Structure 1
Amino acid sequence: MSTQTDWKSPQMLRWCQYLLDSYAYWTRQELIPRKGTTYEQASYLFNCSFVVVSHQTREDPVLNYGNQAALNLWEMDWRQFTRTPSRMTAEPVNREERARVLQQARTQGYIADYRGVRISSTGKRFLVDQAVVWNILNPDGNTIGQGATFSVWRFL
C-alpha cells in the first residue's frame, strides 16, 4: 500500500500541532512525546503504532488526517483516506451511534473510552475499544475539527 507524503506539507505540520495541542488541552496528557521540531513530532505521530485520525468541522466532514496505522487499518493510501467522508468509516447501521458520540465530544470537548464497530475500505469489520475523541482547536480557541485515537482493536 503506497503512502504519499502529504502529511509532510506545511499545512499538515500545522494541523498536527493543533491536533496534539488540543489533545493535551482536553485530556491533560500528551498524545506523543513533544520533543524535537514540528516536523519530528509530525513524523512520530504519523509512524506511531496506535491509530490517529481527524476531520475538519463541516456538515459532512471528510477525513483530513490518518497516520500510517490508520491507513493500514482502513486499507487505504493517503489520497483515498483524505477524500473519504468520515461517516464512511462506519457501516450504515452504526452511523447513528457514531454521530451521537461525535456530538457528545463536540459538547463536552472530548470523550474517553469510546467503543464501536468500524469498517475498512474492503469491508473488514473491526471493533475499536478505549478510543478517545476530542475537539481540535485553533490558537484562537475555535473548534476546527475532531480527532480520534485508539490502540485497541480487533477484527470481527
Structure 2
Amino acid sequence: MSHPLRLDFARLLLNSHALLLGEPLADASLSLPEATRWLYEDAPFCLLAHSAELDPRFIYANMAAQRCFAYDWNAFFGMPSRLSAQAPEQTERQQMLDQVARDGFITGYRGLRIDGKGQRFWIEDGRLWNLLDDAGTVVGQAVAFSDWRPAPTA
C-alpha cells in the first residue's frame, strides 16, 4: 500500500497541474515536503487521483476528500474509482474522463457522486487533469474541487 505523504507522488501532482493548467496547485514558496504535507492534511479542497488502468483505481485522496467521500485512506486506496458514481452517472463520468485523456485537463466540471455511506452529493467547479511522468506518459488522472453539496433525495 502506498503512503499519502510520498514526495515523488506529490511532485507528480504538482508538476502535472502546473504544466497542464498553468498554475500551481500549492504555494510555490513551500518546499516539496511542506507542499506534500499541506496537500494531504491542510488543503482547503478535495484532491483525488486514480491510476491509468482500464478500470482505474484510487491511488490518492487527501484528508478533505476522505471527509467528503466518507472513506479513510485504507478504504480509498485501491478502490475502483467508478464506485464513486452510481451506475446512471458512470456514463457521464466516463465521457468526462475521456475528454481529459484527449485534452489533458478540463475545468468547471460538475458531477454527481456517492459517498461511502451511500449519500449522493454534487461536485461543483472541479478541475481534472492527466498525471504525466517525466517522460510525458499519462500515469493517471487527478481531480481537485472545493465546492460540493448534498444532492436532493429522490
TM-score (norm 2): 0.93
- The residue type paired with residue 19 of structure 2 is Y
- The residue type paired with residue 19 of structure 1 is L
- The residue type paired with residue 100 of structure 1 is Q
Which segments of 5 or more consecutive residues in structure 1 lack a partner in the other structure? Answer: none
Select the residue among 16, 26, 29 that pairs with 1:32.
26
Select the residue among 14, 18, 36 that pairs with 2:12.
18
Per-residue deviation, 1:56: 1.3
- Structure 2 residue matching 1:6: 3-state secondary structure: coil
- Structure 1 residue matching 2:24: 3-state secondary structure: coil
State the distance in 2 between where 1:130 and 1:96 align: 19
TM-score (norm 1): 0.92
State the distance in 2 between where 1:37 and 1:28 align: 19
Runs of 4+ in 1 over 4 A off after TM superposition: none
State the distance in 2 between where 1:68 and 1:132 align: 18
Select the residue among 144, 148, 154 that pairs with 1:153.
148
Select the residue among 128, 133, 137 that pairs with 2:128.
133
Which segments of 5 or more consecutive residues in structure 2 lack a partner in the other structure? Answer: none
Would you say how many aligned residue pairs link Structure 1 and Structure 2? 150
Is residue 58 from structure 1 mapped to residue 53 from structure 2 by the alignment? yes
State the distance in 1 between where 2:24 and 2:102 align: 22
- Structure 2 residue matching 1:72: 3-state secondary structure: helix
